[in-house]
Structure 1
């Protein structure tokens, strides 16, 4: 479909403009982009080898050095951290959408008309709420790094992320109270008491 609106992001330091189609405008002036993002060079581009036409960006991390040139980061270390987070988020999103393709193959029962019942009955999970958690693949799509899982390897993501596993076995370790500090809201139950009530066999 033809896009009637464009988002233009000027990049004065590099003498260029980022251009992307706008699919929708959401609350708080958040825009959902569609199609490729292109970098259009303007006259006087300081890039030593500027493209002769609109250059298509093939990966979101390509925006990071452009923003760094604009002074968007406090230092090179922060720019590198953002670059790593964006790259990780893109990779995790790609894996999550593969998982979504698997979930999409779940078919409705002949006597079931509600798609909600299809999710809860067709996607394995510890409970109904977790079934819906498993089909949320895009994380926070308006956040530049909405799918990061810092400290987790891709293998760990496949093993523990809700898109790929239906349950995670928890292991508990008892810690002497003198080595632990627990705080809670006034009148609230202690976390220890809540765990003992939720999981059989812990108290003993």
Structure 2
């Protein structure tokens, strides 16, 4: 299920033909009630509007004691590279007068908040924090950052300034092989439908 035809086209190119793809929103699924054993969400749930409705739909389509497994973001970039990027980005965004972009329900940023959201219809809620190591060179780091939700909203001049300031600010963190030690902080949430 995805609301983006582009994402569904990519999925179609990689999945067997008997896998059914649905272009729709998670807030209103066309899937039959109590017809699914497992729902998997990868780096999407934490971005969705009306998360209570989304979880209600997941619960509706799951069979009793069906499982939901979600990978959600927990930390954008890990370590000093991430801390430096956040600081530099905030400064450049402020200079560029970039409006704040709210992303998802604030409860989705903490374990306590997730528990509050899941406890209505689910039980046996568990969390596992996963750190994915990544050692990009600056070009790889910048390419990845350039695809994020905020950098593409900066003016072209501000993007150039961000790239230059970030490169200078993290230069002391560069490893002898030209890479930077960082990674992505993820959280896996599992729960069983009541």
Scaled by the length of structure 2, what TM-score is found?
0.27
Larger Rg: 1
Q: Whose strand fraction is larger, Structure 1's or Structure 2's?
A: 2
Which of structures 1 and 2 has the larger relative contact order (alpha carbons within 8 angstroms, sep 6+)?
Answer: 2
Scaled by the length of structure 1, what TM-score is found?
0.26
